[in-house]
């Protein structure tokens, strides 16, 4: 039922074919109406937010267990997400009944009070995030970046044998719309130094997709790849901002540190795995020359998500002149080499314990063409091929006042288009 294209909502804006949030989507988030309000769980429907807590407390969401109703009273999604896919599906059915053409919204006016225009709410990071891990799962991105520094052998020997990743900084995850301060740090004009300390000059975005975990594993155990997809609650967009000049000096020998820890922006609406089912494709494909996978990374029913991803850029002057943002790139998540199931299986292969609310990022999503590259480092090829902007300026890397906007959507024959909303952030000057 939940992805049936014939389902319709009584919320008019959800019936717009261009809407990110039809009744087939119903992504979860956390919102407040004002600064005095406690955070509440909601879902997006068209241009509205449904107050899930209020609807549940008033008895409009039938079929839910008492523990599930209690979890919906929380100020984050953690407790509800930990209850698993069965509880999540029960709530999706109840929500679709409530928001459908024959639901309570056709009747008493009091049911309508639980719908709030999105423009009137403030959205928050939807989970209490304990840990954040970022991967490096695009072969196109890894090959492009590797060829800049190691043209004879772009990929490291381990890259096609395991999903490479690093532990990020959960405390600096911010919600879409939050400003991002240009970081200060050590940089050096040469590989040998000496460094100087100052504002980052090579500020970049990284277009990524992330998953929030609904369930985890006990320390010393593993999540087998066949069960890994069931551990995922849902999907968001991620901008893993990067200070390229700081990164170049600091990353040896232990990898990213201060060049990545100053901000990670996520989109506010978590699109569930159930909503994404019509857009799952078998994969990923392996080439004849690729090494065989070790058994713990193999799954007969692994999938890639067919998500179209876009990056838009607006300078401060463009916004002042009310000019539309410029499309920088458009690619697809189906081009990724490693899947989230493989990332989870590898992450826990040592017995590392993942937990509800942990965030896993895919790494930069890049495709095989120039206009599908997911960061400026690749798109401008280290600044050697700058982008011409509509306001007459050019971009090698990001300037103060620049705003980056990520958008994403899924389309497939026989399925209703769904989207992710926006993941946006503007650069503030260093302080």
Instruction: Say if 12-124 and 132-428 have the same CATH topology.
Output: no
pLDDT tens readout for residues 53-105: 999 998 999 889 999 999 999 999 999 999 999 999 999 999 999 999 988 87
For residue 413, is pLDDT > 80?
Answer: yes
Identity of the highest mean pLDDT range in 2-11, 95-104, 269-278 = 269-278
> According to the model, what pLDDT value does residue 112 have?
84
Please give the structure tokens belonging to residue 302: 């692994």
Q: Scan for tokens 């990929």, then name that residue.
A: 155
Higher local confidence (pLDDT), 236 or 4: 236
Question: Given 140, 141, 346, 347, which residue is catalytic?
Answer: 141
Give the percent of the chain with pLDDT over 90: 91
Residue 202 CB partners (closer than 8 Å, separation 6+): 243, 244, 245, 383, 397
**Residue corresponding to tokens 């509880």:** 87
At 412, is the pLDDT very low, low, confident or very high (cuts 50, 70, 90)? very high
pLDDT of residue 102: 84
Environment class of residue 185 by beta-carbon count within 10 Å: exposed (0-12), middle (13-18) or buried (19+)?
A: buried
For residue 283, what are its two tokens? 């994969």
Average pLDDT over residues 117-145: 97
Which pLDDT band holds residue 189 (cuts at 50, 70, 90)?
A: very high
Cα 416 from Cα 280, distance rounded (Å): 14
- Average pLDDT of the chain is 96
Comparing C-alpha atoms, which of 376, 396, 265 is closest to residue 328? 376
**How far is Cα 113 from Cα 54, in angstroms, rounded to an integer?**
9
Topology at the third CATH level for domain 12-124 = SH3 type barrels. (2.30.30)
Class of domain 132-428: alpha beta
Beta bridge partners of 234: 212, 272
pLDDT of 356: 98
Percentage above 70 pLDDT, the chain: 99
Q: Return the residue matching tokens 């200060």.
A: 184
Both structure tokens of 74: 């929380």
Strand partners, 272: 234
Active site residue 347: no
pLDDT attached to residue 109: 67
pLDDT at 107 over 70: no
The band of 427, judged by pLDDT with boundaries at 50, 70 and 90, is very high
Banded model confidence at residue 106, pLDDT cuts 50, 70, 90: confident
Whether 279 and 316 have beta carbons less than 8 Å apart is answered as no
| Closest by Cα among 417, 419, 415, 418 to 406 | 419
Question: What pLDDT is recorded for position 27?
Answer: 98
- Tell me the mean pLDDT in the region 352-369: 98
Higher pLDDT, 109 or 321: 321
What average pLDDT does the segment 151-161 reach? 95
Domain regions of the chain by residue span: 12-124, 132-428
**Number of neighbouring beta carbons within 10 Å of residue 419:** 23
């Amino acid at each position: 039922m939940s992805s049936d294209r014939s389902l319709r909502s009584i919320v008019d804006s959800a019936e717009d074919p261009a809407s990110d949030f039809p009744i087939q989507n119903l992504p979860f988030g956390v919102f407040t109406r004002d600064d005095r309000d406690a955070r509440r769980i909601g879902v997006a429907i068209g241009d509205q937010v449904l107050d899930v807590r209020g609807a549940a407390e008033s008895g409009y969401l039938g079929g839910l267990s008492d523990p599930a109703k209690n979890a919906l009273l929380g100020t984050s999604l953690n407790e509800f997400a930990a209850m698993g896919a069965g509880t999540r599906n029960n709530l999706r059915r109840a929500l679709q009944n409530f928001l459908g053409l024959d639901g309570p919204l056709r009747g008493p006016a009091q049911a309508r009070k639980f719908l709030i225009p999105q423009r009137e709410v403030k959205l928050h990071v939807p989970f209490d995030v304990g840990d954040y891990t970022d991967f490096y799962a695009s072969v196109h991105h890894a090959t492009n970046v590797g060829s800049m520094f190691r043209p004879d052998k772009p990929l490291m020997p381990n890259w096609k044998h395991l999903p490479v990743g690093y532990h990020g900084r959960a405390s600096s995850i911010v919600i879409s719309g939050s400003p991002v301060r240009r970081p200060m740090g050590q940089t050096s004009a040469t590989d040998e130094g000496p460094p100087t300390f100052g504002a980052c000059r090579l500020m970049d975005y990284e277009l990524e997709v992330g998953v929030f975990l609904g369930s985890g594993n006990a320390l010393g155990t593993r999540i087998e790849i066949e069960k890994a997809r069931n551990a995922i609650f849902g999907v968001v967009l991620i901008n893993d901002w990067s200070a390229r000049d700081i990164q170049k000096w600091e990353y040896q020998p232990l990898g990213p540190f201060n060049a990545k820890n100053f901000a990670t922006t996520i989109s506010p609406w978590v699109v569930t795995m159930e909503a994404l089912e019509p857009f799952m494709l078998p994969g990923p494909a392996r080439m004849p020359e690729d090494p065989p996978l070790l058994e713990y990374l193999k799954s007969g029913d692994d999938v890639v998500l067919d998500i179209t991803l876009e990056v838009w850029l607006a300078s401060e002057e463009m916004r002042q002149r009310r000019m539309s943002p410029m499309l920088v790139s458009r690619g697809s998540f189906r081009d990724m080499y490693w899947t989230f199931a493989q990332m989870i299986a590898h992450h826990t292969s040592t017995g590392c314990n993942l937990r509800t609310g942990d965030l896993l990022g895919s790494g930069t999503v890049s495709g095989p063409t120039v206009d599908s590259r997911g960061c400026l480092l690749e798109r401008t090829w280290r600044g050697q091929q700058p982008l011409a902007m509509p306001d007459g300026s050019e971009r090698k890397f990001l300037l103060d006042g620049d705003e980056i906007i990520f958008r994403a959507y899924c389309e497939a024959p026989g399925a209703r288009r769904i989207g992710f909303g926006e993941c946006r952030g503007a650069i503030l000057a260093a302080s």
